[in-house]
């Protein structure tokens, strides 16, 4: 009997006694209301404790009896979870219990995945989907794999357990919740929402959850129903198609992750040694004082992995040691989640895609890549932000107004040391009226953020840091795309070098694309002539083109998964926050 049932019984008894005494009934109707209200409040506050926990063992003597008893067991289990903070008796969280309550109530509390002590084909199919969740870029342990596996093994090996209705009911609820968890993660990802999240997981409400579960069962297409929730973006599809091949050859083991950079060189030495021991390159009984054997092991690893053989475990070697198959899988999972959360369901017909770790800008028009360009992005200390916007205009022969952060962090010490630094860098000081100020009149040694009423600008021309062209798009970070006067830097492999803006090698091609539909006024010769005459022009009368600046460290190319450096450590941050405790299942 539940707490509410008990309250109702007590109130009925009270009313019965009062009806037998007319005087009591006449003068105590108010008392009846007060007693009823008080009992309701007291019992409601303690209702969690009043709901009886389901039994761990409910033995049925026959398959028919399993069918009879499982209805009561499922109802009791759901009631308990609803009144126990969405948790089962063993504290297993069932986050979609409201949807499950509706599904099982409408189905008269009949099991969805088994029948009379036997798994239904769809029950086997769903368990297989959970066990193969990595093929979706998901972690099987998130979907009750271990408790489900334990139940299935117990039922197979223990004839008494096979008759335990409580086990069957528990497995049914775990499987149903696992399906909805997979659906939610495939549609909306794992991570907290931020400024560029385009989907809203609140849309996956109870009604939607019920529909997803029922559709998968009714249509008999559990996998295809889940796949229908995934992004349709081509980049996502290509990674997903190659993921099973990666999993076939991956060797998942727990390895020591080396903390780097780390000012404690002794700690780095110890972590590298432990990692080499795990790889079988250093004996388990190796003596830390034996640096020669350690150096030899490092060289062996470097030679096997195409790293310059120095015997010193520096940045490249440590990155390689940390880049295990398990860590790669986490990065794949992170990238797929970024697609789920950061990419619109339907991309615009034309857009500019900037992938920071790839150091690449891509222009897509009607599903066709029409141009690509190398780029230079923000350094680690001055990162280029991820954002979504639209290119509104571009400027030939732009003038650079130096941000105050650069003035005070980088330029001021050089100016104070040698005032001719301004002239050498083609810089001028201007006041609030845009009038040029003689730098010799400024007391640079007394300059602070609070007493500098000027701007520093770089004169336009070949020496200008923005180069010959700048592309503007609205954003709160004051970043933009531009050419550069240091074009030789595009030859470097690692190009996280800027103050936050994105330098574009093929800036001229990008400008031509933006005005492609107005060849009369803006043909290639026109723009070239402006540049040749060193003329400043602002071109804004073209259709605005969406631009997406993103941080995707993995892409599919030439039928292979390509891993880019985690230049800002974003993958490491997310892996540690969301996936650090995931078991290798």
- Active site positions, annotated: 482, 501
With tokens 């923000």, the residue in question is 378
CB of 326 closer than 8 Å to CB of 254: yes
378 token code pair: 């923000």
CA atoms within a 13 Å half-sphere pointing along the CA-CB vector of 54? 30
Angle, CA 462 vertex, CA 394 and CA 425 arms, to 5°: 110
CA distance 58 to 73: 8
* 228 backbone dihedrals φ, ψ, rounded to 5°: -70, -15
Q: Please tell me whether residue 142 adopts helix, strand or coil conformation.
A: helix
Among residues 447, 441, 381, which one has the least CA distance to residue 408? 447
CA distance 104 to 125: 20
Distances (CA, A) of 43 to 50, 146, 472: 8, 37, 63
Q: State the DSSP code for 59.
A: B
Distances (CA, A) of 246 to 249, 321, 559: 6, 18, 11
Phi-psi region of 478 (alpha: psi -120 to 50; beta: other; left: phi over 0): left
CA atoms within a 13 Å half-sphere pointing along the CA-CB vector of 134? 22
Q: Sheet containing 400-401: which strands, arranged edge to edge?
A: 400-401, 455-458, 427-430, 436-437
Q: State the DSSP code for 111.
A: -
Please state the three-class secondary structure of 469-536 as a single string.
EEEEECCCCCCCEECCCCHHHHHCCCCEEECCCEEECCHHHHHHHHCCCCCCCCCHHHHHHHHHCCCC
CA atoms within a 13 Å half-sphere pointing along the CA-CB vector of 193? 7
Other beta carbons within 10 angstroms of residue 448's beta carbon come to: 8
* 309 backbone dihedrals φ, ψ, rounded to 5°: -80, 100
CA distance 506 to 123: 55
Give the gyration radius of the chain's Cα atoms.
Answer: 33
Other beta carbons within 10 angstroms of residue 63's beta carbon come to: 12
Q: Cβ-count burial of 263 within 10 angstroms (0-12 exposed, 13-18 middle, 19+ buried)?
A: exposed
Residue 98 is inside which H or E element, if any? helix 97-106
Q: Please tell me whether residue 452 adopts helix, strand or coil conformation.
A: coil
């Amino acid at each position: 009997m539940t707490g509410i049932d008990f309250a109702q019984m007590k109130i009925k008894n009270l009313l019965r006694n009062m009806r037998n005494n007319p005087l009591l009934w006449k003068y105590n109707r108010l008392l009846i209301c007060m007693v009823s209200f008080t009992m309701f409040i007291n019992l409601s506050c303690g209702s969690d404790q009043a709901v009886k926990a389901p039994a761990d063992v409910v033995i049925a003597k026959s398959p028919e009896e399993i069918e009879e008893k499982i209805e009561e067991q499922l109802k009791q289990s759901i009631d308990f979870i609803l009144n126990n903070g969405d948790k089962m008796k063993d504290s297993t969280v069932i986050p979609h219990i409201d949807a499950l309550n509706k599904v099982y109530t409408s189905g008269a509390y009949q099991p969805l995945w088994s029948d009379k002590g036997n798994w239904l084909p769809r029950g086997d199919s769903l368990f297989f989907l959970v066990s193969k969740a990595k093929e979706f870029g998901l972690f099987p342990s998130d979907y009750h794999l271990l408790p489900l596996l334990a139940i299935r093994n117990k039922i197979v090996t223990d004839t008494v357990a096979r008759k335990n209705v409580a086990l069957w009911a528990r497995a049914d609820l775990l499987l149903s919740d696992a399906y909805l968890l997979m659906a939610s993660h495939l549609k909306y990802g794992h991570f907290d929402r931020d400024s560029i999240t385009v989907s809203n997981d609140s849309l996956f409400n109870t009604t939607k959850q019920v529909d997803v579960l029922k559709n998968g069962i009714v249509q008999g297409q559990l996998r295809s129903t889940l796949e229908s929730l995934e992004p349709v973006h081509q980049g996502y599809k290509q990674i997903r198609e190659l993921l099973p091949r990666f999993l076939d050859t991956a060797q998942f083991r727990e390895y020591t992750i080396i903390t780097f950079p780390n000012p404690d060189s002794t700690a780095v030495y110890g972590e590298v040694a432990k990692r080499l021991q795990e790889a079988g390159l250093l004996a388990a009984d190796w003596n830390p004082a034996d640096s020669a054997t350690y150096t030899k092991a490092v060289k062996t690893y470097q030679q096997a992995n195409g790293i310059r053989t120095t015997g010193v475990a520096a940045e490249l070697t440590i990155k390689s040691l940390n880049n295990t198959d398990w860590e790669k899988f986490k990065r794949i999972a992170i990238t797929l989640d970024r697609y789920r959360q950061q990419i619109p369901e339907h991309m615009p017909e034309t857009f500019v895609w900037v992938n920071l770790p790839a150091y690449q800008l891509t222009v897509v028009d009607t599903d066709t890549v029409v141009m690509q360009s190398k780029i230079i992005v923000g350094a680690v200390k001055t990162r280029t932000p991820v954002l979504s916007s639209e290119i509104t205009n571009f400027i030939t022969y732009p003038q650079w107004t130096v941000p105050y952060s650069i003035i005070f962090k980088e330029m001021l010490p050089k100016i104070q040391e040698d005032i001719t630094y301004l002239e050498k860098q083609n810089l001028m000081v201007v006041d609030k009226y845009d009038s040029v100020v003689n730098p010799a009149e400024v007391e640079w040694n007394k300059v602070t953020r609070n007493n500098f009423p000027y701007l520093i600008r770089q004169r336009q021309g070949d020496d200008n840091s923005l180069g010959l062209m700048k592309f503007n798009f609205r954003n709160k970070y004051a970043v933009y795309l531009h050419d550069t006067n240091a074009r030789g830097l595009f030859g470097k492999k690692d190009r996280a070098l800027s103050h936050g803006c994105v330098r574009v090698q093929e800036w001229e091609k990008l400008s031509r694309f933006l005005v492609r539909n107005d060849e009369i006024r803006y043909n290639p010769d026109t723009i070239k002539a402006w540049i040749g005459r060193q003329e400043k022009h602002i071109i804004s009368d073209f259709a605005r083109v969406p631009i997406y600046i993103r941080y995707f460290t993995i892409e599919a190319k030439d039928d292979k998964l390509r891993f880019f450096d985690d230049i800002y450590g974003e993958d490491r941050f997310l892996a540690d926050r969301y996936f650090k405790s995931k078991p290798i299942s």
